[in-house]
């Protein structure tokens, strides 16, 4: 059984998904339903989720999927009596486009050096990231410590967004695990049978290792920066 507001909200979500493939933001839902606060939207979303009409896609901040629609749906914006309820529902056609998502949560694995190598700590927290910054593949984030990559626009306190891979082309910025215990963010170069990790700061010298001492753990895919 849906209330008038619940019915209006699910119609609005479905209409937006069909038009753009992106679920509406809570602010957009608040305005569409003429609610005073986002807390009202949260309550409506929770009620629809409990009744099996929608579900939230995991690890995504703005992603709703409509599972079924009320049978007697009316166009969005058409008013219903305040005490009206909708009893029956029908499954949404499987041909409906998969909702796109503008924010994805990826694992945040501690700090990584942009200077002398330091340990990249494994952590349990997550970082919300605009999906547009990420390409295909699995990603994670590391907080940058140090200033050896500032000429590449990477500063202390930035969050490096890293695509998991064990290989990289010459000249790419990688997360390199050195001697099995320390990780660093550097340009990767193959130099006469050796591996050279180059900084992007004239105050630092390149680091040269035997190939077996360096394992690539990912390539830089993007950056996030906080402004305080």
Q: What are the catalytic residues?
A: 148, 186
Contacts of residue 212, defined as CB under 8 A and 6 or more positions apart, other chains included, come to none
Q: What is the DSSP letter of 27?
A: H
Among positive and negative, which fits the CA dihedral 47, 48, 52, 54?
negative
**CA atoms of 62 and 221, how far apart (whole Å):** 22
Question: Cα dist. 45→14, 58, 99 in Å?
Answer: 13, 15, 16
Cβ(183)–Cβ(113) below 8 Å: yes
CA 190 to chain centre: 32
Bridge-based pairing state of the strands 139-145 and 103-113 = parallel
Q: Which two tokens stand for residue 61?
A: 């901040």
3 state SS of 196: strand
**CA atoms of 155 and 185, how far apart (whole Å):** 11
User: Which of 204, 203, 201, 162 shows the shortest CA–CA distance to 183?
Assistant: 162
Instruction: Provide the total of helices (H) and of strands (E) in the chain, helices listed first.
Output: 3, 13
């Amino acid at each position: 059984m849906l209330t008038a507001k619940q019915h209006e909200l699910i119609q609005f979500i479905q209409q937006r998904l069909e038009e753009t493939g992106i679920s509406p933001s809570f602010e957009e839902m608040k305005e569409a339903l003429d609610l005073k606060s986002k807390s009202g939207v949260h309550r409506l979303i929770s009620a629809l989720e409990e009744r099996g009409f929608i579900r939230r896609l995991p690890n995504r901040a703005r992603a709703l999927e409509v599972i079924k629609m009320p049978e007697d749906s009316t166009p969005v914006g058409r008013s219903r009596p305040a005490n009206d309820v909708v009893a029956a529902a029908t499954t949404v056609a499987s041909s409906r486009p998969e909702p796109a998502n503008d924010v994805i949560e990826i694992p945040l694995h501690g700090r990584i050096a942009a200077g002398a190598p330091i340990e990249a700590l494994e952590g349990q927290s997550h970082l919300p990231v605009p999906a547009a910054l990420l390409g295909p593949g699995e990603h994670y984030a590391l907080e940058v410590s140090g200033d050896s990559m500032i000429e590449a626009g990477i500063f202390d306190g930035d969050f490096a967004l890293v695509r998991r891979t064990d290989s990289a082309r010459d000249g790419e910025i990688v997360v390199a695990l050195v001697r099995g215990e320390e990780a660093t963010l550097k340009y990767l170069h193959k130099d006469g049978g050796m591996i050279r990790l180059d900084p992007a700061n004239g105050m630092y010298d390149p680091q040269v290792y035997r190939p077996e001492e360096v394992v690539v753990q990912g390539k830089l895919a993007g950056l996030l920066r906080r402004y305080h």
